[in-house]
A and B are shown apart, each in its own frame.
Chain A
Amino acid sequence: MPINRIDEDEALRPTFKIKLLIRLFSYLKPYKFQVALTLLLMGIVSGVELLNPYLLKVAIDRYIATKNLNGLLFLGLVMSITILVSMFCTRKRISLMAKITNQIHLTIRQELYAHLQKLSLSFFDHRPAGKILARVIGDVNSLNNLFNTSVTGLIPDLATIIAVIIIMLAMNYRLALASFLMLPVLIIFLGAVEIVSHRRWQIFRQKSSNLNAFTHEHFSGIKVVQSFTAEEQTKKDFHFLLRENFEAFIRAVRLNDLFWPSVELSWGIGTIIVFWYGTRLLNTGTVTIGLLVAFSGYVSMFWRPVMNISNFYNTLVSNLSGAERIYELMDIEPSIQEAEDAVTLPTLRGEVEFKDVTFGYQDGQIVLDQVSFRVAPGETVALVGPTGAGKTSIINLIGRFFQPQSGLILIDGFDLQKVTLESLRGQMGWVLQDTFLFSGRIIDNIRYGRLTATDEECIAAAKAVHAHEFITKLENGYDTEVQERGARLSFGQRQQIAFARALVANPRILILDEATAGIDTHTERLLQQGIARLLAGRTSFIIAHRLSTIVNADRIMLIDQGRIIEMGNHQELLHKKGYYYQLFMAQFRFLAAKEEPVTRLG
C-alpha cells in the first residue's frame, strides 16, 4: 500500500447507502422505549397546540358572544394548564432526546476508537495522523444532529404525511392524486441531485481531511518550519488546501441548496394543479365548493412535512459521507490478528528464535532475508549494522508488530502467531528510537509501563536510570506536567524517562532501539548499571552505534542488507577479523585521522 500524502485524497470504497443507513439507525434500537416516550411527549405537545385554536373558538362562541366573563376566565385557566403541561412535556422530551443522541454519539466514537486501537502499525504508517483524527473527531461530529432530527422530525413528519394522505384520499381521490402529482417528480429530482451531491460531499470530506492532516503535521513540526523560515511556503500550502476545501464545499452546497427551493416549487405547482383541476371538477359538479376550500387547506398540511423531510434528507446527504468514512475505518481488518486459539504465554524465560524469517514492509520488498538465530534466556544481544540494514525490523517482528512473509518466530518455543498479543507484549519492555511521552505528569508517563506500579516502584525505576536527580529538581517533581513538545525536558532526559517506563514494566525481554543515542556516555553507563541491577538475567536486544554500548553484549549480531553476516561475542568477532573487526578498528582510525597519536597520554 502506498503512503497517502497529505494533499492526496484518500481512496474511498464504494458503499451501499441502504446498508449504511440500516447500520446507522440500528444504534437507535436499544432506545426503543425512550424513542416511543419521546414521540408520545411530542404527541401531547402538538395536541395542545392543536387544541388551543379550538379553545379559542370555544371561547369566542360560548363565552365572549354570551358575555360570560367567568366562563372565559375558566377557559383561560384551562388553556394555561394545558400549556403548562406542554411545557413540562417539552422539557422531558429535550432531556430524553439529549440522552439518547449523545449516548449514541458516544457509542459510535468509542467503537471507532476501540477499533482503531486494534489496527496494526502498517495502517498507521500509511496515512497521516491528521486524516485518522479527522475520522474519529470530525466525521463523528458530523453525525451530531442526525439522530435528533430523525426522531423529533422525521418520524412525526412521516406520520403527519400519511395521515394527511389518507384524509385527502378519503375526501376525493381524484383531487388527492392530482395534488400528489408533483411528489414523484420531486422525489426523482432530489434523488438525482443526491447522487451527484453525495459524491461532492465525499470530496469535501476528503479535502477537509487533507486540511486536518496538514495542520496536524505543520504544528507538530512547527519548530522545523520556523527554523527553516518556511512560513511563507507553508502559508501558501495551507491556503492552497484551504482553497480546495472551500471549493469542494461550495460545489457541494451549490447542489444542496437546491433542495429547499425545489420543494417550494413543487409545493407551488402542486397547489396550482389542485386549483386548476379543482375548478374544472367544480364545473362538472364532481366536487363541492366546501370540499375544494377544505382541500386547499390540506394541501399545505401535506407539503409542510414534505419540506421538513426533504430538509432532513438534505442533512442526511451531506452527512452520509462522514458516516461512510467512519464505517470504512471500522471495517478495516487489523493485519496482525490473534489466532482464534491463541494461547496466553506463561511467564517467559526469554528464549527467542528466528527460523528462516523473510520480511518486507511491502510486497516484493525484502528487508530481512531468511534470518535465523537463537537467543538463549538471559542473553544480551547487540544488533549492529549500517542504517537500514534491518535491525529495527528484527525487533519489530519480535513484538509481532508486523507479520513475516515466511519463516517462524518462536519465543520459549511458542509460535508468535499462536499467542495472545497482550501476553506477549505485556512481558516486553521497549525503549524506542523516537521517544514519545504523553502529555501529563511524569510519574504517569513512567507508570505507563505497568499501570499497577506504585509511586515507589516508579521512583525506583527513575532512580535506576538516573532520572531521579533531574526530576526532583523540577518545580513539581514527579507531578510536573510534560507537554507534547515540552522544553522542560531535554531529549536525553525524555529518553531516560522512556527507560524508566520500560523498566517499571519489569519485562522478561527488554528491547532498546538506539535508546541511548541522545544520552551522554557517563549517564549511559550509570543507566546501564541500573538496568543490569533491576533486570538481571533478562533477555535483551540492543540496537546501538556507540561501541562502548555494544562491547559488553553476550552476543553481537552484525546485520547487513537483511542478513546476519557475523555473530559472536566481542572477543570472538575480533579474532575472526571480519566485518566487526574492521568496524571496531575503524573507530580508532577515525579517531586517529588527521591527528597525531595520543598514546603518550595517561
Chain B
Amino acid sequence: MKRILSYVEKEKRYFIPAIGALLLGIALDMFNPYLLKLIIDRVIIGGESALLPKALSGFLAVAFGRVVFGYIKEYAFDYGGQKVAVGLQADLFSHLQALSFDFFDRTNTGELMSRLKDDVDHIRAALTYVIMLSVENIIYFVSATVILFTLNWKLSLVALVLMPLIAQIALRLEKKIGEIYEHISDQDAKINTTAQENITGVRVVKAFGREEYECRKFLQQNQENYGYKLKRARIWGRYFPQIEFLTNLSIVLVTVVGGALVIGDELSVGTLVAFSDYVTMLIWPMRMSGWLMNDLAEGLASVKKINQLFAAVPSVKEPAVPTILPSFRGHLLFDHVSFIRDGRVILEDINFEAPPGATIAIMGATGAGKTSLVNLIGRYYDCTSGAIHLDGVEIRQLPLQLLRRQVAMVMQDTFLFSATIEENIRFGGGESISPTEIEEALRQAALADFVAELPQGLATVIGERGIGLSGGQKQRLALARALVKKSPILILDDATSNLDMETEYQIQQALEALSGRTKIIIAHRISAVKNADEILILEQGRIVERGTHQQLLALGKRYYATYHDQFHGIKTPEVKPFAH
C-alpha cells in the first residue's frame, strides 16, 4: 500500500487537480436544486418572468462549469492513474530483470506477464475509483450529517445507529472478497501460463495431435476461473444486499422514530419531511461503501501479489566494495569449486586453469554438470564453495555487469529475438558495434553467404525464437552474436551441435584463429574438442579425466571410448586410419 501511495504522491500534480475538479463539480451540483426551486417557485408559480433569463443563465453557467470540471476530473484521473501504472510497470520490470537465474528457473513467463499487466491494471482501476468514491463519499456523508444534526440531533443519531453495523459488514466484505481476488489473480496468472505454454509449444501440441487435450486443459483452468468469479459473486451477493437492506432500514427507522417524535410533539412534520429528504444523501455514501470496499479489495489483492515480486531479491549479489580492473586478459581459474543446489551436489571440487587465449573443452554425459560449470563463470549462479578467479580477482569482487561483459556465451538452448538479423547480432552491444565488425562475426560464424543470399540481408526479420531459421542457422546466429562482443572469455555450450560437419569445421578454423580469447567449449563431438589445450571429462559433477586429446586417447578410458564410438565403429571400405 505504501508503495502505491508513493506513486500517487509522485503524480500528485494530476491527482490534486482531479480531486479539485471533483469537489468543484459537487459544489456546482448544489446550485441546481436551488435554481430549480427559484424557477418553479418564483418564475412559474410567482410569475416573475424577468427573473427567468438570470436563472437560466445561472443554469447554463452551472452546466458549463460541470462540463469543464467533469472533463478535467475524468481526464486528470485517467492521466494520473495511467501514470501510476506506467511507473509501477517500469519499476517492476527493472526489478524483475535484475533478479537472478534461480528466480526465473522457478517462475514462468506467463505469471510474470500477468503480474505486469493484469495486476497493474487492477491497481490502476481500483486507484481511480477508490479515490473518487472516497472523496465523494466523505463529502456527501459529512455534509449530510452536518445538515441532519442541525435539523434534529436525536433523529440524526437514529439515522446513524446502524452505521457501525454497516461499517462492520463492509469491512468483512473487504476481507472475504479480498481473499477471492487473490485467488483470481493467481488463477489469471495460471491461465496465462497455460495459454502461453500452449502457444510456445505449439509444435509439440501439433506433432502429437494434442489439440483437444490442450482444450480440455484450458477448459479446466477456465472453469476454475469461473468458479472463483462465482465465489466472488456469492460473497458480493451475500454482503452487498445486507448493506443495502440496512441503509433502507435506516430510512424506516427514521420514519418510525421520527413519526413517534412528531406524535410526541417533539418534532414538526415539516422537519421530518426535510429530514427524510436529506437522509438519502446519507444513505448513498453508506451504500457506496460496499462498492468502495470491493474495488479496494481487488486493488489490494493485486498490490499484495506485486509486493511479493518486489520482495524477491537477486541471489547473486553485487560486491560491497567492488574491484575494478581497467582491462581483462581472460585468465580463468577454478579453485576447488563446488556447487550445491536444492541439496543436490551439482559440481564437486572443480579445479582448472585457463591462461589467456587457452581453450578448455568439457565433455560428459547429459546431466554431468557441464552447463552448470560454465554458468558459474558469468555468475549466473554462485558457486557454494571454492572460488573462481578472473585475471587474479575473485569474480565475486567484480561488479556484476563488468564481469558479464567479459564473458560472451552461446547457450545450448538457442534463444533469438524477433528482430532483424542485425539487431540480433548487435544485441547487448548496441551502436558501439561497427558494420565491419558485424561482417567479421558473420564470416567467423559461417553465416556470411547465407545472409548475402537473403533479399533483405541483415535487415531480414526473423520470427520469435528464430522461427524461420534452421537449427544450424540459429546456432550460427547466436554464435555471431557472441563473437561480435569480442569478450576475453568465450563460452560455447554445445553451440555447434546442430551444424553439419563442414560448417562446424569452418567455424572451428575461425575460432582457432581468434587470438587472445579464452575459450570454454562444451561439446559431444570429438571433432569439436580435440584441439583444446585441456579436455575435462565430467561425470556426476566431478572431473574424472583430463588432458589433451593425445593424452586422453593414450589413457584409453572414457574419452577413448567416445572416440572409438564416433570414429572407429564406422567401417570404411578404403581408408582405415584407425586400424589396430
Contact = CB atoms under 8 A, between A and B. Distances in A.
A229 interface: yes
A405 interface: no
Given A87-B242, A106-B222, A114-B215, A242 B89 contact: yes
A596 B90 CA distance: 59
Interface stretch (B167-175, B192-200, B353-361): B192-200
A267 B83 CA distance: 32
Contact of B67 (A95, A239, A261, A485): A261
Interface stretch (B44-52, B158-166, B386-394): B44-52
A495 B498 CA distance: 14
- Counting chain B residues whose Cβ lies within 8 A of the other chain, the interface size class is 35 or more
Given A60-B259, A246-B86, A547-B566, A493 B203 contact: no
A455 interface: no
A475 B342 contact: yes
B494 A261 contact: no
A281 B54 CA distance: 19
A146 to B, nearest CB: 15
B211 A133 contact: no
A222 B104 contact: yes
Contact of B498 (A130, A141, A517): A517
Contacts of A492: 365-367
A602 B578 contact: yes
A264 B63 CA distance: 7
A36 interface: no
Contacts of B570: 547-548, 551, 570
A83 B66 contact: no
The main secondary structure of chain B at its interface with chain A is helix
Nearest to A287: B44
The main secondary structure of chain A at its interface with chain B is helix
A521 interface: yes
A167 interface: no
Contact of B366 (A2, A64, A388, A519): A519
B202 interface: yes
B218 A430 contact: no
Interface string B409-444: 101111101110000000111100000000000000
B104 A523 contact: no
Given A221-B417, A257-B78, A265 B366 contact: no
Given A425-B209, A575-B573, A598-B553, A268 B203 contact: no
- Counting chain A residues whose Cβ lies within 8 A of the other chain, the interface size class is 35 or more
B197 A493 contact: no
Contact of B501 (A128, A485, A545): A545
Contact of A425 (B113, B207, B526): B207
Interface stretch (A14-22, A193-201, A346-354, A582-590): A582-590
A594 B508 CA distance: 12
Contacts of A588: 567, 575, 577
Interface in B474-519: 476, 481, 485, 494, 497-505, 508, 512
Given A434-B413, A434-B465, A517-B494, A250 B82 contact: yes
Contact of B262 (A64, A117, A213): A64
A426 B213 CA distance: 13
Contact of B210 (A2, A258, A275, A448): A448
A64 B269 contact: yes
A140 B190 CA distance: 16
B225 A106 contact: yes
A478 B124 CA distance: 43
B64 interface: yes
**Could you say which of A97, A136, A296, A571 has the most chain B C-beta atoms within 10 Å of its C-beta?**
A136
Contacts of B114: 137
Given A275-B52, A585-B575, A591 B527 contact: yes
9 contacts: A3-B467, A79-B251, A90-B240, A128-B464, A483-B105, A520-B365, A545-B472, A574-B573, A601-B553
Top 8 nearest A-B pairs by Cβ distance? A602-B580, A268-B63, A387-B472, A492-B366, A228-B428, A98-B233, A517-B497, A94-B237
Given A79-B252, A227-B380, A520-B524, 16 more contacts: A3-B463, A73-B256, A83-B245, A102-B230, A105-B226, A106-B225, A219-B112, A228-B428, A239-B90, A249-B78, A426-B209, A483-B107, A491-B371, A492-B365, A574-B572, A594-B512
